[in-house]
Amino acid sequence: MASTTNRLPLRLIETFRSVFYTPIYVSVAGGFLEAQGLDVDFKTCPSEFAHPLSCLNRGGADIAQSGIMRSIISSDWGAETVPMHFAKINSRDGFFILGRTGPDAVPNAVPNAKGEAAFDWDLLRGAKLIPVGFSPMPWASLQFAMRRHGVEPSELDLVTGLDLDGAMAAFRAGEAEYIHVPQPAAEQLLDDGSGHLAVALGLENGHLAYSSFAATHHFLESQPEIVQRFTVGFANALDWLAAHDAPEVGEAVAGFFPQVNPELIVKSVARLKAQDNWPTDPTLAQPEYENLHDILVAAGLANERQPYTKVVRTDIVETALASRR
């Protein structure tokens, strides 16, 4: 363990508040970063920055949770250097499609391997759907899944321009047949009977380098001790997360969602745990990077494949894990 007498400050930000980012909240609330001698100022990315990587580049934070897609897109646009991603937070898509009717009302639903009614993707053709509007990656991932099932995004009637609260209100008011949401919004709509689970995108698109921690080259090179302490603390938090059940994890992170019924936080955690959303090892492996890159190219967000080594550093996690042995 790092010395607690030689404490170091760290400014840490997330893109938005979601149970999807439970590993971060466990790291902070569980004391895993504090135990490494870090005094953490943690918050959601301030509104004056377009996104977390902009916040990093403009000196507003030291380490940011971000979709790796932003560094890939910047590189694709011609940036010589981009913030480097060095530790994985999510290894699957954590968003869900909810419909206004349950699978029992779907005439062409076919039972899956578990005996549950599978979603008939053809029902999306001509249907009104409210997509996630605050980040391009969830929509790109949804498009990828739709095309795998023979549905083109252009065949949907999209209801756009809504923030999350507005999207949920519109869905509850019957303004769309489907909605695309993160947790805990999905559990809130399921709980009040407004929607029924249609698709879990994490199961559809498999393992991806979906969300990770990033920092600028300057910070990684000038503050190696902070980065090392942070990565060790985060790896320890992942161990704790894997070893504890949904009620324990939900209780640990519920304070980050004061306006949400704690029982729904537990259900959100349970659903994400069940689909293997969170890694046990924070290494950003190349196959997961390439899988996500496929989604970006298919969505037209990247024109050329960007080198893995330009966007990802694996040595930081390797050193952190070795130091724990």
Q: Are 301 and 136 in contact (CB under 8 A)?
A: yes
Task: Copy the structure tokens of residue 292.
Answer: 């996500």
* Full-model pTM: 0.91
* pLDDT of 4 higher than 80: no
Least confident of 10-24, 103-117, 123-137, 153-167: 103-117
| Rounded average pLDDT over 160-187 | 95
Average pLDDT over residues 69-88: 90
Render pLDDT for 113-154 as a digit per residue (tens, 0 to 9).
Answer: 444 457 899 999 999 999 987 778 999 999 999 999 999 999
**pLDDT value for 3:** 52
For the stretch 233-284, pLDDT in tens is 999 999 999 999 999 999 999 999 999 999 999 999 999 999 999 999 999 9
Instruction: Give the SS3 label for residue 97.
Output: strand
- Among the ranges given (67-81, 173-187, 310-324), the one the predictor scored with the smallest mean pLDDT: 67-81
Domains of the chain: 8-92+208-324 (3.40.190.10), 96-205 (3.40.190.10)
Crossing angle for the helix pair 286-298 and 136-148, to the nearest 10 degrees: 80
What does the pLDDT read at residue 52?
Answer: 86
Please give the C-alpha separations between residue 257 and each of 18, 46, 99, 154, 270, in angstroms, as whole numbers: 9, 18, 25, 35, 16
Q: How far apart are CA 231 and CA 321, in angstroms?
A: 8
Rounded distance between C-alpha atoms, residue 130 and residue 317, angstroms? 38
Residue 321 has pLDDT above 50, yes or no: yes
